[in-house]
Amino acid sequence: MLHHAARAVPWGRVALAAGLVVGLMELVRWNPWVLWPLEGTAVGLLAGAAAWCFDETAAAVVDTSPRGLAWRAAARSPAVLLLVLAWALAVARVGNDAAFGHLEAILVQGLAAVATGAAVACWRRARGVAAPGLLFAAVTVPVATVWALVRPLDDHLTVFPFGTTSTHGWHMSTIGWATAGGLANLVLIAALTDAPWWHLHRAAWAFERKR
């Protein structure tokens, strides 16, 4: 498994993403009132990098091998663990003051982003897409970045709360992120275990295509 992880995971890109996440949060720590949008960028980067870990460009070969998707995904999980550790370290260094007193909420955002990236990538891999993480990262990172910059409709839909956001806004945001993370974990489990309902869904989809 370790041999597979060493060869299959794009370690260079994962290390670059982890380093960027830590660097972005260091900038946030330096001047949170001005550089806070970079926290959203870091969260988007975590989601994109987590998805990227599960890309299998040689899908045509590995999909027919005896090792199933769950085994291969488990083998790649150390890369996700590295991203989680980088995020935990970065958030811990930011500290409660620079995090406007909502350190746990920020930690939840990153963990939910990693879970979402992994779930989307594994779900798409289960559907036969070879490199879903690349497309996911190419869209998620810029979207998270601009959302954190503009914070549109912030009074009604707080995704990346700021220092001026109310406690209620922070609370609702955390509930949203935790829900997204929970759903992502369910999708991940379903995709990796080839859950019966999932299998039926695919069969129905294939049947529709044949018709």
Partner 1 sequence: MSATISDTGSTFGVLARQEIRNYLRAKLFWFGAALTLAVDVTMLFDLTDDPSSSGSYMIAPAALLGVLGLVVMYGLTRRSDHAAEAAGAVAVPEGTRTLALASAVVVPLSVAILSFIAAVVTWYVHPPAGYIVPPGISNAYVLAQMFGDGVLCAVGGPLLGLLLARYYPKRGITAVASVLLVIATILLQGGLFGGAQPYRVFWFWTYFLTQSPEGGPGQHHFTTHPGNPFLWLLYLVTLCALGVVVAVRHDPESDRARLGKLAIGLILVAVVLGALTMTVGFTESVVNPAVCPSC
- Quote the least distance from Cβ 55 to partner 1, whole Å: 9
Nearer CB in complex with partner 1: 149/183: 149
**Distance of closest approach, residue 129 Cβ to partner 1, in angstroms:** 15
Among 20, 46, 98, 113, binds partner 1 (CB under 8 A): 20
**What's the CA gap between 34 and 87, in Å, rounded?**
21
Site for partner 1 in 80-99 (CB under 8 A): none
Does position 158 bind partner 1 by CB under 8 A? Answer: no
24 lies in the site for partner 1, by CB under 8 A: yes
**195: CB partners within 8 A, 6+ apart:** 189
132 is a contact residue toward partner 1 (CB under 8 A):
no
Q: Which among 19-27, 71-79, 180-188, 193-201 is the span making contact with partner 1, rule CB under 8 A?
A: 19-27
**Are the C-beta atoms of 44 and 51 separated by less than 8 Å?**
no
Q: Are 181 and 115 in contact (CB under 8 A)?
A: yes
Please provide residue 135's backbone torsions phi and psi, each rounded to the nearest 5 degrees: -65, -40
The single-letter DSSP state of residue 154 is T
How far is it, in rounded angstroms, from Cα 50 to Cα 77?
A: 9
Given the rule CB under 8 A, which residues bind partner 1?
13, 20, 24, 27, 31, 34-35, 37-38, 41, 45, 48, 52, 134, 137-143, 145-146, 149-150, 152-153, 155
